[in-house]
Amino acid sequence: MRTLRFLLEKEFRQILRNRQLLRTLLIAPLIQLILLPLAADYSVKNISLAVVDNDHSPFSQKLIAKITASGHFRLTGYTASYKEALQLVEQDKADIALQIPIHFERDLVRENTKQLYMAVNAIEGTKANLGSAYLSSIIRDYNSDIRLRWQSTPGVPTISTTTPTAANTSSTATTSSPSATTSTTSTTPSPSATTSTTSTTPSAGATTSTAPIPSAAAAPQVSTASSNWYNPYMNFKLYMVPAILVVLITAMTAMQSAFNIVQEKESGTIEQINVTPIKKHIFIIGKMIPFLVLGLILFTLGLLVGWIFYGIIPVGSLLVLYASLLVYLFAMLGLGLLLATYSGTQQQAMSLAFFFINIFNMMSGVFTAIDSMPGWAQTIVATFPPSHFIKIMRTVVLKGSGFGDIVYPLTAMAAIGLFLNTWAVLNYRKTT
């Protein structure tokens, strides 16, 4: 025990002495945590649209006005031919090309159906997905608008303007939920049981109503009342900040501990340790504890940054968060140690660390949903400790999950940690 105390004293002194390192370890991640969530904004609101209006009718103009009023689209091109619109897509000046064919209004009135053509740049899948979803739902709304107006005033083929109320509702509603419509059906959330759940949910979102086809009594209609729980304002930062914090902690603690051990190897000081009667597990514990403390400090500072800059207060208990963090650090420091045992120089340690960190960052669900990966990839991802910790962070911070809800990711992390640490200790030889 006394040996451990001396070792810890040495480690802390070495870390605290190195100002340049300390700056990179604490300040750099915090600055990144403040800035990067601003970059990680995927609330798609600036979809640029090129429109080809071959009809030039009141109908087509109203459709374009409705699309631009939604707030999701920016009209970046108004071309004479579809080919030119596609060129704009090619040059990344437009994400979607929308073509309103000739006789759009006439055929709608006379023949009751007409096509609209949309071409979406699908290289960025999420943007393509959301963009086309927004556009489709606007067109759907528009469709029911004109239908309603048509039916209420039969015999008048053109509609020159919308009633201002309808337009207003549409634009304000679409900012919160793109599927909200200028619905005429009742928006009451239905049964008593449901309403009670909604009211007990602290973070239940605004209830908006979608009535895909509010029509005359001719056909029965099912409408949906959708609500967004846990993040009613659809704030993407709430989702990203906890994950980015995990990414930063991963890079800081685990990888730094690997470098630290290898540095002793490279500079030869490890031999001095080896000839002393210090036991190997004491040495390892002495190397791990400083980085555990560092991780705890960084995590606390990170939560503060989230609170001060983004107003994020974890819904769940801090105890759950910190307990999970300890399990996570145990696993990741084990990985760091393992990497250290396999590398002889700092450069090797860095290459190994870089390999893992990069794959962790891309695959652990920080940026893309793990659920949409194929099964084999999900199995691989399940062995990555960050994927579990990111899940825990998000559910606890946003939804207030307790220990009971995170049993699986927590035990998975603990198991991986135990495995990595055992492997590392077995592979660590004092005599190298």
Partner 1 sequence: MKQLLTFIKKEFLHVFRDRKTLLMLFGLPIAQIVLFGFALSNEIKDSRIAVVDYSRDPVTTRIISKIAASDYFDIQRSLASADQLQAAFKKGNIKLAVIFPAGFGNDLTHTGKATMQVIADASDPNQATTVTNYMDQIINDYNTELAKNASQPMQILPELQMLYNPELRGAPNFVPGVMALVLMLVCTMMTSVAIVKEKELGTMEILLVSPFKPIYIIIAKLAPNLLISILNLVIILLLSYTFLDLPVKGSLALLIFCSILFILTSLSIGLLLSINAKTQQAAMMGSLMGMMLPTMLLTGFLFPIENMPWPLQAISNLVPSRWYFIIVKRVMLKGLGLTSIWKEILILIGMSLLLFAISLRKFKIRLQ
Q: Which of residues 195-254 bind partner 1 (CB under 8 A)?
A: 196-197, 200-201, 205, 209-210, 212-213, 215, 217-232, 234-236, 238-239, 244, 247-248, 251-252
Find the shortest distance in angstroms from Cβ 184 to partner 1.
10
- Rule CB under 8 A: is residue 194 a binding residue for partner 1? yes
- Rule CB under 8 A: is residue 126 a binding residue for partner 1? yes
Angle at 79 between CA 78 and CA 84, to 5 degrees: 135
Task: Rank residues 4 and 103 by Cβ distance to partner 1 and give the closer one.
Answer: 103
Residue 138's SS3 state is helix
- Rule CB under 8 A: is residue 387 a binding residue for partner 1? no
Q: Are 80 and 69 in contact (CB under 8 A)?
A: no
Which residue's entry shows tokens 């040059």? Answer: 91
- Rule CB under 8 A: is residue 373 a binding residue for partner 1? yes
- Rule CB under 8 A: is residue 169 a binding residue for partner 1? no
- Rule CB under 8 A: is residue 367 a binding residue for partner 1? yes
Task: Rank residues 232 and 423 by Cβ distance to partner 1 and give the closer one.
Answer: 232
- Rule CB under 8 A: is residue 343 a binding residue for partner 1? yes
Find the shortest distance in angstroms from Cβ 304 to partner 1.
19
**Of the residues 163, 168, 172, 368, which one makes contact with partner 1 according to CB under 8 A:** 368
Task: Rank residues 51 and 251 by Cβ distance to partner 1 and give the closer one.
Answer: 251
Find the shortest distance in angstroms from Cβ 239 to partner 1.
5
For the segment 248-307, give every residue that binds partner 1 (CB under 8 A): 248, 251-252, 255-256, 259, 263
- Rule CB under 8 A: is residue 160 a binding residue for partner 1? no
- Rule CB under 8 A: is residue 122 a binding residue for partner 1? yes
Burial 285-300 (b: 16+ CB within 10 A, else e): ebbbbbbbbbbbebbe
Which residue's entry shows tokens 């705890």? Answer: 296
Task: Rank residues 79 and 121 by Cβ distance to partner 1 and give the closer one.
Answer: 121
Taking contact as CB under 8 A, which single stretch among the options 4-12, 305-313, 388-396, 417-425 is the one that binds partner 1? Answer: 388-396
Taking contact as CB under 8 A, which single stretch among the options 8-16, 336-344, 414-422, 424-432 is the one that binds partner 1? Answer: 336-344
The amino acid at residue 47 is I
Task: Rank residues 169 and 198 by Cβ distance to partner 1 and give the closer one.
Answer: 198
Distance CA 45, CA 63 (A): 18
- Rule CB under 8 A: is residue 344 a binding residue for partner 1? yes
For the segment 10-69, give every residue that binds partner 1 (CB under 8 A): 20-21, 24-25, 28-29, 32, 35-36, 38-46
- Rule CB under 8 A: is residue 121 a binding residue for partner 1? yes
CB atoms within 10 A of CB 23: 10
**Is the Cα dihedral 328, 333, 334, 338 positive or negative?**
positive
Task: Rank residues 237 and 421 by Cβ distance to partner 1 and give the closer one.
Answer: 237
**Of the residues 81, 358, 383, 411, which one makes contact with partner 1 according to CB under 8 A:** 358
Find the shortest distance in angstroms from Cβ 373 to partner 1.
5
Q: Are 406 and 320 in contact (CB under 8 A)?
A: yes
Taking contact as CB under 8 A, which single stretch among the options 166-174, 288-296, 387-395, 417-425 is the one that binds partner 1? Answer: 387-395
Burial 365-401 (b: 16+ CB within 10 A, else e): bbeeebeeeeeeeeeebeebbbbbbbbbbbbbbbbbb
Q: Report which DSSP code applies to 48.
A: E
Find the shortest distance in angstroms from Cβ 51 to partner 1.
14
Q: Which residues contact 9 (CB under 8 A, 6 or more apart)?
A: none
**Of the residues 17, 113, 160, 272, which one makes contact with partner 1 according to CB under 8 A:** 113
Task: Rank residues 74 and 281 by Cβ distance to partner 1 and give the closer one.
Answer: 74
Find the shortest distance in angstroms from Cβ 1 to partner 1.
30
Distance CA 227, CA 204 (A): 7
Q: Which residues contact 195 (CB under 8 A, 6 or more apart)?
A: 189
Instruction: State how beta strands 47-53 and 73-79 pair.
Output: parallel
- From the centroid of its chain, how far is CA 163? 38
- Rule CB under 8 A: is residue 352 a binding residue for partner 1? yes
Closest listed residue to residue 338, CA positions, set 221, 417, 242: 417
Backbone torsion region of residue 315, taken as left when φ is above 0, otherwise alpha when ψ lies between -120 and 50, otherwise beta: alpha
Q: Which two tokens stand for residue 117?
A: 């053509």
Q: Which residues contact 236 (CB under 8 A, 6 or more apart)?
A: 40, 41, 42, 43
Q: How many CA atoms lie within 13 A of 278 on its CB side?
A: 25
Task: Rank residues 78 and 233 by Cβ distance to partner 1 and give the closer one.
Answer: 233
